[in-house]
Amino acid sequence: MRRFRERYREMMGENVPFLALLKEDLDRVVSRDFREFSFPLSLWVKVVYLSINAFSRLHDPKVLDALRVLW
């Protein structure tokens, strides 16, 4: 969990524009205690959809790196 949170903060600090729409929801997920941790399926679907869309437009491997952090 610690490593996940660190990587998430790094990723969001790099200003990942395609995930900006979901920042509040993602922040809520990341801030949960380990025992309460859950990544809602509906949020995951949105993340994947936005990632695919961003990658198809930008062809930037950083998009896949952001997705990997959340995976």
H-run or E-run covering 50: helix 41-58
What is the C-alpha to C-alpha distance for residues 40 and 17, in angstroms, rounded to an integer? 21
**Do 68 and 16 form a contact (C-beta atoms < 8 A)?**
no
Q: What is the mean pLDDT of the chain?
A: 89
Question: In the chain, where are the structural domains located?
Answer: 2-70
Q: Is the model's pLDDT at 41 over the cut of 90?
A: yes
**Length of the chain (residues):** 71
pLDDT in tens, 47-67: 999 999 999 998 988 888 888
Which two tokens mark 27? 């922040």
Q: What is the mean pLDDT of residues 3-10?
A: 89
Task: State the maximum Cα–Cα separation within the chain, in Å, rounded to a whole number.
Answer: 37
What is the C-alpha to C-alpha distance for residues 55 and 65, in angstroms, rounded to an integer? 11
Q: What percent of the chain has pLDDT over 90?
A: 39
Q: What is the mean pLDDT of residues 27-34?
A: 91
